[in-house]
């Protein structure tokens, strides 16, 4: 290996470590369990043109969508030294309203132009709207919470208290929101500090040169991978159970054309945008495509903007994969993104048999709870995604159980953290044995989470795969569908996959998550067709 190649690899890991350290600062200084415990955040670094050059090992659905937020922040605000712009608008590069993105430029010397951009995105446990947790069964985005266009949270190093107070006046847990927003600012400052150290050590022109080289290398690796796949058109269709407001199923269709080291990913034929909140925007769809195509490459290939140069994404406006305002969007980021990943993998399984796993659980099993905590004398808002089963793959061994897969990369909220911070008691948390699909390699099992409410609370569940099961591959069986129930007065009642319910003290919510699909026929050899 040449000295230049060694230096490029060193710079690549240096930039990635800056993103990871930003994430550590955000995690350790945030107030909410959702950020501190579940680590529902992402950090990334961009060149002067706003193109991705490095990111932390964080949330795929955030990371693939953030470049569009950065683009809108730059166009709307033109940040200067010491400025931090925030936004959450899904129609300006955001994903859904709880995800607030912070963007800042990194300047050196007297140059009025930034040398780099840094950004982070964090899921806030409540941003207002018609239900605690801001993930309601809404019909329009105005019901989902405060919608923030690109605005300055910090100007020339000074917190814009009027803007902060405007946001805090529209949320249920203002102290927590303030703490989380300030944590995002502190993560930005750490990124600026570390980039300054890198420039002083290596020189600005050298780092910029290596950034371009990293993007070009990622592009070459993606084109080489696409050339190894047989040319052709590969199609697949899957569906969401429903939109949460009585309409369903919601089909998502993809056609992938591969030829000459390039790919065209076309979602024409997918369902029109829905009345309910399962609509995704273009940023989410691009994020899912980026994630799936990145998975085809070796782990050591850097995740930069160069990856998507050979890939064109067509997502017709007005569909569930590119909805127009004022569509409700809360579940598009968390549920529809998972189904987009499923259809992409289903199509690619025909282009690259023997490399693609069966479907994983295909849902983030979103749970939002809020109300008045009488013991602590304050309002509370809790949000969590519940893990499921991973689909089995062709390379041996079954899918993992009780894990977050594909578009999410979060942890669970520990039982101790839930019971310490919220008026809830975890009655049971266990693996849902036998929920993975059968096959030569079994799918991973989902989980069972049972929560008792100690105070009255409003509960919202946004989940899927309660009707249509995660599919198996090469003769493998599907994973079991999930289920939601509430136990009240000793009676157990089934809830829809997407539901809003008023819970009383003593009620118990039961969430059973889907298992992953199996791979290969049981009893067959390792040589699977």
CA-to-CA dists, residue 157 to 115, 160, 227, angstroms? 18, 9, 48
pTM for the model: 0.95
Distance CA(281)–CA(258), nearest Å, equals: 24
What is the per-residue pLDDT for 526?
A: 39
- At 501, the pLDDT band (50, 70, 90 cuts) reads very high
Measure the CA dihedral 453/459/464/467, to 10°: 80
pLDDT higher than 80, residue 3: no
Rounded CA separation 199/210 (Å): 12
Q: What is the dihedral of CA 412, 418, 422, 425, to 10 degrees?
A: 120
- Is 331 contained in some domain? no
Give the pLDDT confidence score for residue 1 in this predicted structure: 64
- Beta bridge pairs of residue 236: 254
Question: Which neighbouring-strand residues pair with 457?
Answer: 371, 503
Task: Please say whether the beta carbons of 334 and 408 come within 8 A.
Answer: yes
Query: Which range of residues forms the domain containing residue 412?
Result: 357-529
Inform me whether the pLDDT recorded for 396 exceeds 70. Answer: yes
Is pLDDT above 50 for 407?
A: yes
In a domain, 333, yes or no: no
Per residue, the 3-state secondary structure of 26-43, as one string, reads HHHHCCCHHHHCCCCEEE
pLDDT in tens, 163-217: 999 999 999 999 999 999 999 999 999 999 999 999 999 999 999 999 999 999 9
C-alpha span between 469 and 480 (Å, rounded) = 6
Query: Last residue of a domain, which of 216, 247, 270?
Result: 216
| Banded model confidence at residue 524, pLDDT cuts 50, 70, 90 | low
> Average pLDDT, stretch 474-478?
97
Q: Does residue 525 register a pLDDT over 60?
A: no
What are φ and ψ of residue 450, in 5° steps? Answer: -120, 120
Q: What tens digit of pLDDT does each residue of 347-364 get?
A: 999 999 889 999 999 999
pLDDT at 485 over 60: yes
Please state the rounded mean pLDDT for residues 436-448.
97
Q: What's the burial of 193, exposed, middle or buried (CB within 10 Å: 0-12/13-18/19+)?
A: middle
**266 domain-assigned:** no
Evaluate whether residue 248 is within a structural domain: no
Per the structure, the count of domains in the chain is: 2
DSSP state of 395: T
Q: Domain for residue 312, yes or no?
A: no
Segment 523-529 shows an average pLDDT of: 45
**Is position 298 within any domain?**
no
Place of tokens 């997918």: 270
Last residue of a domain, one of 216, 242, 272: 216
Residue 382 located in a structural domain: yes
Could you give the percent of the chain with pLDDT greater than 70? Answer: 98
Residue 57's pLDDT band, with cuts at 50, 70 and 90, is: confident
- Beta-strand pair 262-266/311-314: parallel
- The pLDDT score that the predictor gives to residue 527 is 38
Q: Please check the confidence at residue 437 and state whether its pLDDT lies above 60.
A: yes
| pLDDT at 507 exceeding the cut of 80 | yes
Residue 377 falls within a domain, yes or no?
A: yes
* Closest to 101 (Cα-Cα) out of 132, 58, 133: 58
Residue 298 pLDDT greater than 80, yes or no:
yes
């Amino acid at each position: 290996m040449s000295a230049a190649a060694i230096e490029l690899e060193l710079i690549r890991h240096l930039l990635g470590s800056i993103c990871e350290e930003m994430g550590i600062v955000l995690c350790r200084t945030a107030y909410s369990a959702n950020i501190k415990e579940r680590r529902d955040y992402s950090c990334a670094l961009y060149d002067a043109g706003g193109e991705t050059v490095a990111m932390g090992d964080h949330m795929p659905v955030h990371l693939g969508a953030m470049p569009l937020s950065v683009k809108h922040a730059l166009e709307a605000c033109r940040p200067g030294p010491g400025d931090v712009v925030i936004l959450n608008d899904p129609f300006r590069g955001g994903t859904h309203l709880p995800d607030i993105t912070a963007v800042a430029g990194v300047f050196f010397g007297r140059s009025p132009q930034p040398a780099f951009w840094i950004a982070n995105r964090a899921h806030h446990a409540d941003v207002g709207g018609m239900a605690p947790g801001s993930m309601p069964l809404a019909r329009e985005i105005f019901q989902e919470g405060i919608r923030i266009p690109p605005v300055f949270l910090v100007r020339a190093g000074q917190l814009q208290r009027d803007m902060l107070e405007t946001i805090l006046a529209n949320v249920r847990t203002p102290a927590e929101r303030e703490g989380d927003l300030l944590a995002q600012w502190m993560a930005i400052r750490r990124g600026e500090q570390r980039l300054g150290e890198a420039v002083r050590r290596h020189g600005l022109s050298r780092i910029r040169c290596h950034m371009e080289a990293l993007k070009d290398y990622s592009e070459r690796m993606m084109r080489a991978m696409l050339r190894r796949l047989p040319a052709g058109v590969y199609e697949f269709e899957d569906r969401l159970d429903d939109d949460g407001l009585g309409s369903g199923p919601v089909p998502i269709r993809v056609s992938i054309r591969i030829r000459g080291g390039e790919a065209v990913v076309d979602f024409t034929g997918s369902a029109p945008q829905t009345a309910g909140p399962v609509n995704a925007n273009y940023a989410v769809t691009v994020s899912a495509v980026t994630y799936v195509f990145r998975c085809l490459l070796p782990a050591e290939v850097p995740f930069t903007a160069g990856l998507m140069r050979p890939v064109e994404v067509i997502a017709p406006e007005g569909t569930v994969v590119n909805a127009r305002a004022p569509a409700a969007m809360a579940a598009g980021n968390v549920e529809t993104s998972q189904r987009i990943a499923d259809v992409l993998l289903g199509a690619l399984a025909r282009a690259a048999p023997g490399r693609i796993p069966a479907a994983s659980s295909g849902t983030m099993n979103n749970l939002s709870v809020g109300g008045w905590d009488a013991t602590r004398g304050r309002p509370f808002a809790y949000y969590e995604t519940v893990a499921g089963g991973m689909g089995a793959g062709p390379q041996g061994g079954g899918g993992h159980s009780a894990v977050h897969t594909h578009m999410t990369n979060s942890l669970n909220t520990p039982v101790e953290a839930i019971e310490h911070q919220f008026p809830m008691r975890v009655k049971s948390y266990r693996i849902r044995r036998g929920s993975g699909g059968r096959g030569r390699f079994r799918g991973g099992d989902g989980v069972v989470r049972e929560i008792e409410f100690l105070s009255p609370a409003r509960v919202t569940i946004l989940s899927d795969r309660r009707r249509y099961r995660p599919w198996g591959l090469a003769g493998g069986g599907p994973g079991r569908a999930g289920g939601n129930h509430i136990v009240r007065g000793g009676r157990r009642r089934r809830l829809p996959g997407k539901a809003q319910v008023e819970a009383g003290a003593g009620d118990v919510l039961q969430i059973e998550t889907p298992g992953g699909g199996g791979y290969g026929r049981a009893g067959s050899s390792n040589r699977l067709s």
